[in-house]
Amino acid sequence: MFFDAHAALLYVALRTSLAALFALRLLRAGGDGATLIGQAAADGAAVLFVLGAARADLRAAVGLWYLPMLLYAGLWELRRFWLYLDDAMEPLAGESPNGVTGEPVVSWAAGSAFWAWQALAVAPALAAGLMVAFDAVAPGVWVFPTN
């Protein structure tokens, strides 16, 4: 998927559309602007990772900037993952502090959507980011089929 430019564009369009829906949900829930801007920056980096894996000219144009983008996006997504797990493990109101009774705060459907997003949108983008960052550090060592 990463090496065909058309498939990469389709993937980026679908991922960006879903990310925009999540941003609207965050705004409607009263989320702060800093979180929205931080997520938008991480999503923008993910778009460049996927497109860079498919297009050699974009890889060359962005160059070593892939390294700080990968560091930022990776740390941002790790933070979001940690916050999700922290929220999911909180006990319901009136439960014991260790939360051994009752269900987690996050419903099954929301939990499934989170794991699907992580597996289908975050992990492939970060994997593409690793590939293009490696190519930026050691050009020509990683063989991209589009070269």
Rounded to two decimals, what is the model's pTM?
0.81
Greater model confidence, 55 or 107: 55
At residue 128, the pLDDT reads: 94
Q: Is the pLDDT of residue 136 over 50?
A: yes
Q: Which of 59, 46, 37, 54 is nearest to 16 (CA)?
A: 46
Beta strands in 23-107 (DSSP E): none
The DSSP secondary-structure symbol of 91 reads P
Each residue of 66-94: pLDDT tens digit?
999 999 999 999 999 998 888 777 655 55
Average pLDDT value for the chain: 84
| pLDDT bucket at 51, cuts 50 / 70 / 90 | very high
Map residue 110 onto helix, strand or coil. Answer: helix
| pLDDT bucket at 11, cuts 50 / 70 / 90 | very high
At residue 94, the pLDDT reads: 52
What phi and psi values does residue 64 have, to the nearest 5 degrees? -70, -10
The pLDDT of 44-54, averaged and rounded, is 94
At residue 121, the pLDDT reads: 93
Determine the Cα–Cα distance for residues 139 and 32; give it in Å rounded to an integer.
Answer: 40
Residue showing tokens 């997520």:
39
The pLDDT of 61-67, averaged and rounded, is 95
Each residue of 88-127: pLDDT tens digit?
776 555 554 544 444 555 566 667 888 899 999 999 999 9
